[in-house]
Structure 1
């Protein structure tokens, strides 16, 4: 029983660390989204680039509820807002 509890706590701690690190990474980055015409995700109708490093957003085409992240990269300088 103690071994199972230790394993469960270790898994929980590892998951929390990974989640925290991925959240910190995603908090300051450049994200690119593609918008699709419908749930088949076969026809791109718009795109958006969110630059969280500078606080700017560029959108073109049609924005729909069918979107996917198609690219991301960290801010220059380790994610520090300028």
Structure 2
């Protein structure tokens, strides 16, 4: 079974969702002249008593020749990469 990964506006920020049991938020996205961006985001982690936001660096690349966006970030030494 495949899930749909989406990047959408959510309460004044962008939210990357659709991954089982996780999501993260990006406060802003500013593309440079090569279609790349890097921004600080948050990744909610379960603490046992609830959730706490962990800061992460989210990087992205918009392909200039198409509508493809690649987003990546690292959590707990594991790289996650998604192509939208």
Q: Same fold (TM over 0.5)?
A: no
Higher relative contact order (CA 8 A, sep 6+): 1
TM-score (norm 1): 0.27
Could you say which structure has the higher helix fraction?
1
